[in-house]
Structure 1
Amino acid sequence: MTGASRRIFSVGAALIALSAIGAGVYFIADGRAKESAKSSAKGGATVPVVVVSALEQSLPVRLNAIGNAEAVATVAVKARVDGQIVTVNFKEGQEVRKGEVLFRIDARPFEAALRQAEANYLRDRAQRDHARTQEKRYQELLEKNFVSKDAYAQFRTNAETAEATAKASEAALENAKLNLEYCTISSPIDGYVGRTLLQVGNLVKANDVNPLVVINQVKPIYVNFAVPEQSLPSLRQYMAAGTLPVEALSPGEPKPFAEGRVLFLDNAVDPNTGTIKIRAQFENRDARLWPGQFVNVSVRLYEQPDAILIPSRAVQTGPEGQYVYVVKPDLTAEVRRISVDRTEGDNVVVKGLGKGEQVVTRGALRLSPGAKVQIRSAADVT
C-alpha cells in the first residue's frame, strides 16, 4: 500500500469513528428524553410556590383623589396712612396671632395733628356755646318786643353756624384719632406671615397696590379635590346621614397624617371634566398641611363587613381579564377568575374568592391549570 493510500485510509477511519460516537450520543440523549417524557406523563415535577390565605375582614369603602390645600383666609395687609416705618415686629414665615403688632409708622406727625384737632374742637365748641347763649337771650327779648325779628334771626343763624362748625371740628378730631391708631398695624387674623420687602426707614403710602405683607390662616385649612360624577349619589347619600370623614396622606405613605371632614359639595358638575368639586376642612393644629400643597385624600363612605383581601401581587392579568391561582386541597393549581373592587395599600379587595382560600403570590409564572404544587416559604422560591 502506497503512502497516499495509507493517508486516505486513515482519514476515512477517523470519519467512521466520529460518526459512531455521534450516533451513540444521539441514542443516549434520545433515551433520556423518552424517559423524561414518560416521567412527565406519569405526573411531572411539582412547582414550588408561596401562598397566602384570603382574609375576610371589615374594611371602609373609600373615595380616593388628589387634593390641593388652600388657606381658610388670606389677608393682604396695607397701610392706611402715609408715613415712615419705624418698627417691624415679626420675621418672615413667623406665626402671628390676631391683634399682634406687625409694623409701626412714625406717629409724631399724627400726634401733632391730633393736638391741633383737639384745640380746634375746643375753640369751636366754645364759640357754639356762646352763640347758643346769645340766640336764647335774643329770643327772650323778641318775646318782649325789645328787638326786631330780623335782629333775632341773625343771632339764630350765628348759633346754627357755630353748631355746624363745632360738629365739623369734632369729626376732624375723630379722624385725627383714627390716623394715629393707623400708625400701629396689627394682624387681623391668626396665621403665618409671608415675605416682606419693607425694612425700618421705608416710606409707605396708604392703600398702596403692593401690600406690606400677606398673612395666610392655616388653622384650620381647606383641601379642595374632585371625584368622578358617578360618585355623586353615594356622596350625597352618606353626607345626608352624617359627617363624612376625610384623611390626608403624603404621596407614597400608606398612613394618614391628618383627619378632617367634608365641608360641602359644589353645586354643579364640571361638564368639561365630568367631576364634582369637594371641599374638606382639617383642623391642622400641627400645620402639616400648607397652602398650595398637593396631598392624597381619602373620603370614608361606609364600612364593608365581609371584604375579601389578598396581596395585589397575587393578581395576574390575561386575555380574559384578571385571575389568581388557587391551591386546592389536593395541592393542584386552579385558575380562578376574579374582579378587583379596590386597592387597600399593598392589598386588593376582590370578588370571586372565599375566606381562607390559598392564593399563589410567588411562582405563578411556572404554573398551568392542574399543575401540582409544593408550598414553600418565601425564601425558598425565587
Structure 2
Amino acid sequence: MKINGALILVATLVSSTTVLAQQASKVPVRTAAVQQQDMQVWIRGIGRVKPLQSVEIRPQLDGLLQEILVNEGQMVRKGELLAVLDDRAIKAALEQAKAQQGVIKAQLDSARLDLQRYINLGKTQAVSQQVLDQQKALVQQQEAQLRSVEAAIQAQQVQLSYTRIMSPVTGQVGIRNVDAGNYVRSSDSSGLFSVVQLDPISVEMALPQSRLPQLQQLMQQTRQQQQVPVQAFMQDGAEVLAQGVLQVVDNKVAAGTGTIRVKADFANPDHKLWPEQTVVVALQQEKLASALTLPATAVVQGPEGPYVWLNDQGKAKTQPVQVLLQQQELVVISGVQLGQQVVVDGQNRLKPGAELAVTAEPRLAASKEPKP
C-alpha cells in the first residue's frame, strides 16, 4: 500500500508539473472583438478664430474728444452711442447756413413775384422783352444760390453727425487708445478703440490642395442646404469648444503654399472662441455605415503590409488587413469578420501557431462615438 501511495503521489506531481509547463509555454495576450459601428470621417487642421465683424472706431473729423460713454470690455449693441466730440463750431456754421437759406428764400420769393408781374405786363407790351429776360435770369440765379446753401446745410448736418460716434456692430469694446479731453484727428494712426463681434464667430483654416475634391463635395452639400458639421478644440484630445457649420471654401488655391482656405461659422454665446485664437478644427467629411472597427494597437505593420494576430481556437494566426481609416484610438479595417478575437497587446512575443493565454479584454472605445 505504501508503494501504491508513493506511485500515486509521483503521478500527481508529474501531472502538475506538466500542466505548469504547458501554462508557462502559452503567450499572455489581450484580445478584442471586431466590432461594427457607424464611423464619422473627419478632416482635421489648424485654424484661427476670426470675428465676423471687427471695427476700429476712428473719428471722421478733427476735434476735441469730449466724452467716452463706454467702458473697456463692455458689450455694446449696434447703434449705441460710444463717444462724443466737441460740436459747437459745427452747430454755429449750421445755424449760419440756415440763416443764409432764409435770406435767399425771401429774395427768391420776391423775384418770382416780380417775374409774374412782368409776364402779365408783357402780354400788353408794357415792359420790354429784355426786362422780362433779366428777371427770369435773376430768379434762376437765386434758385441756384438756394440749392447751394441747402447743400451746405446738408454737409454741416453730416459733419454734426460725426461728432456722435455710434457703434456700427454689436460686440465687445476693446482697450482704448485715447482718453477724453484729447484733440483727435481723422488722420491719427490709431483709433479710439475697437469693437469686435463675438457671437456668432468664424474660424478659418488652410487645408492642402489634395483635399480639394472632398471640399468641393462638401460645398455642393451646403448649396443643397445640407449642413456640414465642424468642431473646434483647444488642442488634440481636448473637449469640444464649439460646434459650427461649414460656410465657404475659398475660390482659389494659394499659389505660395498650395493650400485652400476654408471658413466655418460657430455660435459662440459663452465666448469660448476668442478672436485670433489658434484652435484644432475637425470638418466632417462623411459617415461610414456599419464599418468594422478595432483598436489601433491591434494593427501590426509588416514587410508585406499591415496585418493582425487572430485568436484561432486558442492559437495565434496572422491575418492580412487593409486599414481604411484611423480615428485616434480606432481603425476601420477590412479583411476580418465581425466578432473575431484579435490580439491588441503582446503581439511582439507571438509566432504562428503559438498557444495563447488570454487575459482580461480591454474596454473598447468603440462602445461610444469616437472623438474626431
Tell me the TM-score range normalised by the shorter chain. 0.7 to 0.9
Work out the CA distance in 1 between the residues paired with 2:342 and 2:57: 62
1:344 Cα shift?
2.3
Give, in whole Å, the separation in 1 of the partners of 2:143 and 2:256. 65
CA distance in 2, matches of 1:158, 1:174: 25
- Note closer, same or farther for the CA distance 1:80–1:237 as it changes in structure 2 (3 Å cut): closer
Cα drift, residue 266 of structure 1 = 2.7
Change (3 A) 1:364 1:191: same
Say which of 348, 351, 355 aligns to 1:372.
355
Matches within 5 A, 1:354-365: 354-365=337-348
- Say which SS state the counterpart of residue 102 (structure 2) adopts: helix
> Counterpart of 2:95?
115
Moved more, 187-196 or 52-61: 187-196
| Aligned mates of 2:20, 2:233 — CA distance in 1 | 52
Tell me if the contact between 2:307 and 2:318 (Cα under 8 Å) persists in the aligned partners: yes
Corresponding residue for 1:297?
A: 281
* Paired position in structure 1 for 2:304: 320
SS in 2 for 1:317: strand
CA change 1:254–1:311 in 2 (3 A) is: farther
* Residue in structure 2 matched with residue 88 of structure 1 by the alignment: 68
What TM-score, normalized by structure 1, do the two folds share?
Answer: 0.79
Aligned to 1:57: 37
Structure 2 gaps of 5+ residues are 1-17, 363-372
Contact 2:53 2:196 in 1 (8 A): yes
- Structure 1: which 5+ runs fail to align? 1-37
Q: Are positions 1:311 and 2:311 aligned together?
A: no
Tell me, in whole angstroms, the C-alpha distance in 2 between the residues paired with 1:238 and 1:252.
23
Deviation at 1:375, TM superposition (A): 1.6
Could you tell me how far 1:56 is from its partner in structure 2? Answer: 0.9
In 2, the alpha carbon distance for the partners of 1:160 and 1:362 equals 99
Describe the SS at the equivalent of 2:251.
Answer: strand
Which whole-Å CA distance do the structure 2 matches of 1:123 and 1:166 have between them? 9
Give the direction of change, closer, same or farther, for the CA distance of 1:42–1:301 in structure 2 (3 Å limit).
closer
Amino acid at match of 1:53: A
The separation in 1 between residues aligned to 2:90 and 2:208, in whole angstroms, is 59
1:336 — aligned with what?
319
- Provide the aligned length of Structure 1 versus Structure 2: 341
Q: What corresponds to 2:26 in structure 1?
A: 46
Residues of 1 paired with 2:259 and 2:324: CA distance?
21
In structure 2, how many angstroms separate the alpha carbons of the residues matched to 1:243 and 1:161? Answer: 64
Higher radius of gyration, 1 or 2? 1
Tell me what 1:189 maps to.
169
* Deviation string, structure 1 residues 57-86 (Cα, Å, up to 9, x no partner): 111222222222222233333212221111
Tell me the distance in 2 between the aligned counterparts of 1:277 and 1:338: 35
1:171 lines up with 2:151 in the alignment? yes
1:24 is aligned to none
2:81 pairs with 62, 76, 101, which one? 101
Do the aligned residues in 2 keep the contact of 1:57 with 1:308 (CA within 8 Å)? yes
Deviation at 1:97, TM superposition (A): 1.5
Query: Structure 1: how far apart are the matches of 2:286 and 2:119?
Result: 85
Distance 1:259 1:61 in 2: 16
- Measured in 2, the distance between the counterparts of 1:108 and 1:269 equals 53
Counterpart check, 1:151 vs 2:131: yes
Alpha-carbon distance in 2 for matches of 1:110, 1:276:
50
CA deviations on 1:340-382 (whole Å, 9 max, x unpaired) are: 3323232222233322222223333333332222122389xxx
| SS in structure 2 at match of 1:206 | coil
Shift of residue 42, structure 1, vs aligned partner: 7.7
Q: Where does residue 345 of structure 1 map in the other structure? A: 328
CA contact (8 A) 1:101 1:185 kept: yes
Residues 219-242 of structure 1, C-alpha deviations (whole Å, 9 max, x = no match)? 332322233444333433354343
2:183 to 203, 214, 218: 203
Q: Does 1:244 align with 2:228?
A: yes
CA–CA separation in structure 2 for the residues paired with 1:115 and 1:270: 56
1:277-305: CA deviation from partner (whole Å, max 9, x where unpaired)? 32222233333223322222222233212
Deviation readout 1:11-62 (Å, 9 max, x if unpaired): xxxxxxxxxxxxxxxxxxxxxxxxxxx9999896222222222211111222
The code of the aligned residue for 2:324 comes to D
What percent of counterpart residues are identical? 34
**CA spacing shift, 1:303–1:130, aligned 2, 3 Å:** same
Provide the C-alpha distance between the structure 2 equivalents of 1:260 and 1:312, rounded to a whole number of angstroms.
Answer: 29
CA contact under 8 A between 1:254 and 1:345: conserved in structure 2?
A: no
Aligned residue identity for 1:313: T
| RMSD of aligned residue pairs (Cα, Å) | 2.8
TM-score scaled to structure 2, two decimals? Answer: 0.81
Q: 1:367 to 1:224 in 2, by over 3 A?
A: same
Residues 148/272 of structure 1: CA separation in 2 closer, same or farther (3 Å cut): closer
Deviation at residue 188 of structure 1 after TM alignment: 0.9
Distance apart, 1:264 and its partner CA: 2.4
Distance 1:168 1:147 in 2: 31
